[in-house]
């Protein structure tokens, strides 16, 4: 700017008008740098700046409304997409959190918002058209949020991708299903479809490629991906899937309705439960907070069941990755053995409690058969105590995660015409979502559900931020996981070439003969037949022929 000023003085007073123009342009550049602005098919939008783990500038557009607020007559109805807006949309900060129990932050039903992160925006006709990763949140369909302090993009954005996160309706607001026209359900899933359509329409404006969209989902998000793969509503809206620690194809049939849960929801907030119409009409009058806080009334045994609401039934052939952590929900056993009341109740009423805790059918001859078989196999028919806590933990993990995920990967390998990859995440760093009791949150119990997310997202409320100067081994795992996921998003192959960052491993596809999987620990190692004996027990108890 100083050089430009001197030059205009030398050119004479008649050229001094150039100076304000230059200053205006410089001011515009400064404003753009602080608040990047672009135009999408939906309208003009203004964002903000973040910084990646390794120092890249992230163009962040947060809190973009993709559907009308689902309030009033739009509660328990399919989403109404926001097609366009007037003026410049302010996407400089996080949007609202959807109603859920003990959110810790203000919640609002006006929460159907998404976030887009990019490190290279289009300039004129130059569009980088980078692969897009759309992240579907965990939370058992009743909790969590996409706000940047829970799903921080700082680790992923060191890779050359465009990253999208979003909220969708949760709990009864997202999945109330009476089994009839009063409330067919799946509102949260239909929210997700609107997001995928929004991505197809707008993502090129952020430097993304609408023809290269990978869905990344964890737990409930993993369930969601598998549902999208078989849903005609989602056909053509994505091209690859990474389903982490979750599968809907276990020892339970996918429901066509959840009227019993809808009735319980009604009773919990003082509504009649005699007809679907009365249930829905009354629930529309209740506050979102009241509905979210009523969640704890669904618990039947300690913290169980872990899963309550789920999508209902109303295949796409794509490259697919799925897998699980080493210990998944095994920490749930601590809640039982460290509570004398729960231990006594489980021991004395095993046949009733087991289907609640391990999520399979109740009150049938089959459920009794399953309860007796797993008690014999895992516990040798011995009472629950601290001495067999590890065995009890395996029942939690195998019933809720290991068996359903193993069944999903086998079905995918059998029927999917595209490559299928399987993994186990066994890396144990210094941080975890569950620490051994009495260690003041310093000694991780193992590698539990959500622990791999520590290395994909900056979870500001729970864990430190890993930067370029952070100690190993955590920063190495950040690089490993984000590289594997980005490779897959770009090529459909997580290890397209030998790479020292990935221990030069070749991740072989899964097939029914060898059943190979990648063990992601301190080193990346190919192995075969994960938890074979334990999986066989559940396959024998729930053969696929039962659902034919």
Instruction: Pick the closest to residue 240 from 488, 416, 422 (CA basis).
Output: 488
pLDDT tens for 421-460 read 999 999 999 999 999 888 988 899 999 999 999 999 998 8
Average the pLDDT over 169-198 and give the result.
89
3-class DSSP state for residue 502?
helix
Distance between CA atoms of 261 and 139, rounded to whole angstroms? 18
The answer to whether 408 and 226 have CB atoms below 8 angstroms apart is yes
What dihedral do alpha carbons 39, 40, 44, 45 form, nearest 10°? -100
Average the pLDDT over 311-323 and give the result.
72
pLDDT tens for 190-243 read 999 999 999 999 999 999 999 999 999 998 889 899 889 888 888 899 999 999
Catalytic entry in 222, 328, 397, 485: 328
pLDDT score, position 255:
53
Higher pLDDT, 298 or 255: 298
State the CB neighbour count (10 A cutoff) for residue 38: 17
* 367 assigned to active site: no
**Nearest 5°: phi and psi at 296?**
-65, -20
pLDDT tens for 134-144 read 999 988 887 78
pLDDT tens for 319-375 read 999 999 999 999 999 999 999 999 999 999 999 999 988 988 888 899 999 999 999
Q: What is the DSSP letter of 516?
A: E
Q: Is 418's pLDDT higher than 60?
A: yes
pLDDT tens for 145-174 read 888 888 899 999 999 999 999 999 998 888
Average the pLDDT over 83-91 and give the result.
96
Catalytic entry in 42, 96, 205, 219: 219
Average the pLDDT over 103-123 and give the result.
90
pLDDT tens for 27-79 read 333 345 578 999 999 999 999 999 999 999 999 999 999 999 999 999 999 99
Average the pLDDT over 69-93 and give the result.
94
β-bridge mates for residue 165, sequence order: 115, 135
**Nearest 5°: phi and psi at 365?**
-60, -35
Of the listed ranges 180-189, 508-517, 519-528, the one predicted with least confidence: 180-189
pLDDT score, position 32:
53
Distance between CA atoms of 128 and 59, rounded to whole angstroms? 14
Residue 316 — very low, low, confident or very high, per pLDDT cuts 50/70/90?
Answer: low
pLDDT score, position 22:
44
The answer to whether 21 and 185 have CB atoms below 8 angstroms apart is no
Distance between CA atoms of 282 and 294, rounded to whole angstroms? 15
Residue 18 — very low, low, confident or very high, per pLDDT cuts 50/70/90?
Answer: very low
* E strand spans, 104-219: 113-118, 130-136, 162-166, 208-218
Instruction: Pick the closest to residue 97 from 61, 133, 139 (CA basis).
Output: 139
Q: What is the DSSP letter of 130?
A: E
* 328 assigned to active site: yes
The answer to whether 405 and 329 have CB atoms below 8 angstroms apart is no
Average predicted confidence (pLDDT) for the chain: 87
β-bridge mates for residue 132, sequence order: 162, 213
Catalytic entry in 228, 239, 433, 449: 449
pLDDT score, position 15:
44
Q: Is 3's pLDDT higher than 70?
A: no
């Amino acid at each position: 700017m100083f050089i430009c000023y001197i030059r205009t003085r030398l050119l004479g007073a008649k050229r001094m008008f150039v100076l304000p123009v230059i200053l205006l342009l410089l001011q515009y550049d400064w404003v753009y740098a602080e608040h990047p602005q672009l135009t999408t098919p939906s309208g003009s939008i203004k964002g903000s700046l973040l910084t990646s783990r390794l120092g890249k500038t992230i163009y962040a557009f947060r809190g973009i409304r993709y559907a009308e607020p689902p309030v009033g007559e739009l509660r328990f109805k399919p989403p109404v997409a926001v097609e366009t807006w007037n003026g410049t949309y302010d996407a400089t900060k996080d949007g609202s959190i959807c109603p859920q129990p003990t959110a810790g932050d203000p919640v609002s039903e006006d929460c159907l918002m998404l976030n887009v992160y990019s490190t290279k925006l289009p300039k004129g006709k130059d569009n980088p058209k980078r692969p897009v990763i759309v992240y579907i949140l965990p939370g058992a369909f009743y909790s969590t949020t996409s706000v940047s302090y829970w799903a921080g993009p700082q680790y992923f954005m060191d890779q050359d991708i465009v990253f999208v996160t979003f909220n969708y309706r949760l709990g009864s607001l997202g999945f109330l299903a009476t089994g009839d026209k009063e409330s067919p359900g799946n509102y949260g899933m239909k929210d997700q479809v609107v997001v995928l359509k929004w991505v197809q329409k707008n993502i090129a404006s952020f430097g993304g490629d609408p023809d290269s969209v990978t869905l990344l989902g964890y737990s409930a998000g993993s369930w969601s991906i598998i549902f999208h793969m078989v849903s005609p509503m989602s056909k053509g809206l994505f091209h690859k899937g990474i389903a982490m620690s979750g599968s809907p194809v276990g020892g339970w049939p996918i429901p066509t309705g959840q009227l019993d849960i809808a009735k319980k929801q009604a009773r919990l907030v003082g509504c009649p439960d005699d007809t679907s119409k009365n249930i829905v009409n009354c629930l529309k009058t209740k506050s979102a907070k009241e509905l979210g806080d009523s969640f704890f009334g669904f618990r039947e045994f300690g913290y169980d069941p872990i899963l309550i609401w789920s999508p209902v039934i109303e295949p796409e052939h794509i490259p697919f990755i799925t897998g699980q952590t080493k210990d998944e929900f095994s920490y749930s056993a601590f809640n039982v053995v460290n509570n004398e009341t729960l231990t006594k109740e489980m021991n004395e009423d095993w046949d009733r409690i087991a289907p609640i805790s391990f999520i399979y059918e109740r009150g049938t001859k089959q459920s009794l058969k399953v309860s007796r078989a797993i008690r014999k196999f895992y516990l040798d028919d011995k009472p629950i105590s601290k001495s067999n806590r590890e065995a009890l933990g395996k029942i939690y993990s195998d019933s809720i995660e290991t068996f359903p995920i193993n069944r999903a990967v086998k079905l995918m390998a059998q029927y999917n015409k595209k490559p299928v990859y399987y993994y186990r995440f066994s890396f144990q760093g210094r941080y975890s979502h569950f620490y051994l009791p009495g260690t003041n949150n310093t000694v991780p119990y193992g590698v539990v559900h959500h622990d791999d997310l520590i290395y994909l997202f900056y979870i500001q409320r729970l864990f430190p931020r890993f930067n370029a100067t952070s100690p190993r081994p955590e920063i190495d795992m950040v690089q490993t996981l984000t590289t594997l996921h980005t490779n897959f998003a770009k090529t459909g192959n997580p290890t397209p070439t030998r790479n020292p960052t990935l221990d030069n491993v070749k991740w072989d596809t899964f097939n029914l003969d060898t059943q190979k999987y990648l063990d992601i620990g301190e080193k990346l190692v190919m192995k075969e037949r994960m938890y074979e004996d334990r999986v066989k027990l559940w396959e024998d108890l729930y053969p696929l022929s039962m659902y034919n």
